[in-house]
Amino acid sequence: MSTPLTSTGLSPIVRAVAGVTDVYSPRPALAQVADMATAALRGAPVPPPEVVVEAAGDAVSVSTRIAVDRAAGTADVARGVADALLDQLPAGATVSVDVGRIS
């Protein structure tokens, strides 16, 4: 585990996997809108995180949504993203990779 367990630390790892064409927030659209509205009211608008890291005690869970090149095997790309993330996470961590688009 050498990468910070943050969205900004893990996003480049997801983007570096062959076949990934884009990365999106895995959070529901309504939650993203609420987060962006709150950030705008505070004067610090920030885009939604592409990788969400949740930690509760010793349990770490990471989720992301990706777009996949149609020439690549979708399952292989998703598995590659999961493997790349798990390599950066503590033992016992879980990863969820959703495929949002194939193009």
pLDDT tens readout for residues 75-91:
999 999 999 999 999 99
What pLDDT shows up at residue 47? 67
Percent of the chain at pLDDT > 70 equals 81
The confidence band for 74, taking pLDDT boundaries of 50, 70 and 90, is very high
> In this predicted structure, what is the pLDDT of residue 11?
95
Q: Are 25 and 63 in contact (CB under 8 A)?
A: no
* Residue pair 31/41 in contact by the 8 Å Cβ criterion: no
Q: Which pLDDT value is given to residue 58? A: 85
pTM metric for this prediction: 0.83
Q: Decide: 70 and 21 in contact? Cβ < 8 Å.
A: no
